[in-house]
Amino acid sequence: MVDKQGEGARGQPATSAWSVPAGRRTDEWSKCVVRIAEHSDRAAFAKFFSHFAPLIKAFALSGSSLSAAHADELVQEVMLKVWQKAAGFNPEKAAASTWVYTIARNCRTDMFRRLQKFDTQLEAEDVGFELEGDEPTMALHASRGAVRVRELMSDLPQDQAQILAKVYMEGKSHSETAAELGLPLGTVKSRVRLAIQKLQVFMDAGSEE
Amino acid sequence: MVNHHPDTNTLLEFAASSLPAAQSVVVSTHLQFCSECRQRLAQLESLGATMFEDAEPVDINPSLFDNVLARLDEVQDDRAANDANASTMSWTVKQIRKGNLDELQWKKVTRSLRIADLGDIDGAAEFSLYHIAEGGSIPQHNHSGTEMTLVLQGGFSDESGSYHAGDFITREAGDIHAPTALPGGDCICLAVLESPLRFTRWHHRWLSPLLQLRAG
């Protein structure tokens, strides 16, 4: 997923997602964010940084979508937003990891925009949708989904996993993905739908299409 | 009750932030109407977060943390500066999301049709609001690109069905339709077109330049 192994992937056996229960991890990082919000706790911020900054950098470098210098800039921007937005985080409504992922995703889109990819002066937050978690079961379903998704991820055929990685980690549209892989757009679309079905992302999924 | 939704591919591109800006505005406005899609978005974002968490961590230069610490106190000032620089498009999008449609610049096109051109935006040949008077219609046209439409108010019907407030409709290139506002009130739609519309009836050809407000 990260093709910059040369940058130095570090061995952190304890952070292997497969061995640590998602619930406990979520709890730990959520507590950090709450302490940042309530006490401007720099120690909690340092702890949060040491875990998430390397993941944000990995996200930034996925598919070489950003240079190493821009990746570092992105890490700084995202962590500053974590500090700034911590008060808006509600641990009952979302996992801290999902919260920081959406910040990283928005910051990267804004950086793509600044770096040439788009012309319109708009920020990702202008056109995005901030889930309030107002539906009572939403966070529960989403986090339960994440546990199940991890179990199913390893069985996903390589061609589907590769496309999901391009779409999520590299931030590529379906048509960019199709062009890069030399596949028809329709094939990319149907592989994405198959992957979503296999991962049972939609828990109480009614109709898929 | 919303009956027509963005498909899985569109919602996933939105969740991964790879949908162009104009299409994202249409999807996010649909989300204001639709709790079902909000649930699906939460699940798709959670999948993205899972992949993010499972990425192979990449080493961070320790000086980066010091840089961030040194900047923690300047954050508030930055935010104030950003607000002052908010662009016209950012303002326009806010009016749509708040439903302040009268704030926008409307042009009368026919007796029953008014259009607000929302301006240049990434990913769109045309990004507009359509106001169709009760019982009025938009001349029959086909698309040379994908069109996404969201009904904001009232409803319309065309060859394939009837649509009401909150419904999200995708028309692929080549689909021909002539939307007519349903009885009971005016219909307002937000629409984004990938590339220009072409009218199929000769006597409406004069309309094309008006409707293709942003034909590239």
The architecture in CATH of the region A23-120 reads Orthogonal Bundle (1.10)
Alpha helices in A113-184 (DSSP H): 124-127, 138-153, 158-168, 174-181
DSSP three-state, residue B158: strand
Contacts of B96 (CB under 8 A, 6+ apart): B25, B29, B104, B118, B129, B190
Q: How far apart are CA B200 and CA B198, in angstroms?
A: 6
pLDDT digits (tens, 9 = 90+) for B103-157: 999 999 989 999 999 988 877 888 999 999 998 988 877 777 889 999 999 999 9
Q: Write the secondary structure of B9-24 as one string of H (helix), E (strand) and C (coil).
A: HHHHHHHCCCCCHHHH
For the full predicted model, state whether its pTM sits above 0.90.
Answer: no
pLDDT digits (tens, 9 = 90+) for A2-39: 333 333 333 333 333 333 344 444 578 999 999 999 99
Q: Any CB–CB contact under 8 A between A122 and chain B?
A: yes
Q: Where are the domains of chain A?
A: 23-120, 136-203
DSSP three-state, residue A97: helix
pLDDT digits (tens, 9 = 90+) for A83-94: 999 999 988 878
CATH 3.40.50.1370 assigned to A136-203: no
**Predicted interface score ipTM higher than 0.85:** no
Q: Sort strands B147-153 and B187-193 into parallel, antiparallel or unpaired.
A: antiparallel
pLDDT tens, residue order, chain B (216 aa): 799 999 999 999 999 998 988 999 999 999 999 999 998 998 899 899 999 999 999 999 999 999 999 998 875 655 555 555 568 888 999 999 999 999 999 999 989 999 999 988 877 888 999 999 998 988 877 777 889 999 999 999 988 899 999 999 998 877 777 889 999 899 999 999 985 444 444 444 444 444 444 333
- The answer to whether the beta carbons of residues B192 and B127 sit under 8 Å apart is yes
Smallest Cα distance from A30 to chain B, Å: 14
Concatenate the DSSP letters of all residues of B107-126 into one string: EEEETTEEEEE----TT-SE
What does the pLDDT read at residue A134? Answer: 60
Residue A138 φ then ψ, to 5°: -60, -55
- At the topology level, CATH places domain B1-216 in Jelly Rolls (2.60.120)
- The answer to whether the beta carbons of residues A61 and A74 sit under 8 Å apart is no
Q: Any CB–CB contact under 8 A between A142 and chain B?
A: yes
- Write down the mean pLDDT value for chain A: 81
Q: How far apart are CA B191 and CA B170, in angstroms?
A: 10
DSSP three-state, residue B173: coil
Q: How far apart are CA B128 and CA B147, in angstroms?
A: 11
Chain A residue at shortest CA distance from B49: A98
Q: How far apart are CA A76 and CA B100, in angstroms?
A: 36
Give residues 42 to 71 of B whose Cβ lies within 8 Å of A.
42-61, 64-65, 67-69, 71
Among A19, A119, A168, A180, pick the best mutation site for testing chain B contact (most B Cβ within 10 A): A168
Tell me what the mean pLDDT of segment A161-181 comes to: 94
Q: Any CB–CB contact under 8 A between A43 and chain B?
A: no
Residue reference for tokens 């992302």: A201
Q: Where are the domains of chain B?
A: 1-216
